[in-house]
Amino acid sequence: MSYTLENMKKDIRKQYNLIANEFSKNHNIGENSNDKNRLHFYSFIHLPIKGQKLLDLACADGLDANHYSNQGANVTGIDASEELITITKQEYPTIDFTVGLAEQLPYKNESFDIVTSKYAIMTSSDMKPIFTEINRVLKPGGIFIYLATHP
């Protein structure tokens, strides 16, 4: 299979749609917990985020987006998985969640003060379009904070 943008859309959505409920229920339990990584990641966001427009890229089940919202940020979350977005909208109805891809963000130029992403951009075979889109939606002087396990 050639990895066109259309194929990547289908692959990542299919992949996470199939595991959405299990992922949401189990990724923060026991030895598979993401809590240590999450707390470490949050420590890098040491600027005040209250009132800031923040995009949580590949927001999964919305747990991080909710954390940022509780800190006072105006949060938008986006994820490729329709199933995960359905879960997030039910769990956190006051946060704006959208289905979409990092390679084609559906937001206006210079929309966000902060973009965050954990373990997501590394799933792309071509990160250049992702970084281009993040740069486009960040306001001048905006901050992008991400976590990846490998390039």
Segment 137-148, tens digit of pLDDT? 999 999 999 887
d(CA 136, CA 144): 12
Backbone angles phi, psi at 144, to 5 degrees: -115, 120
pLDDT in tens, 85-98: 998 999 999 999 99
Backbone angles phi, psi at 101, to 5 degrees: -115, 150
Whole-prediction pTM = 0.77
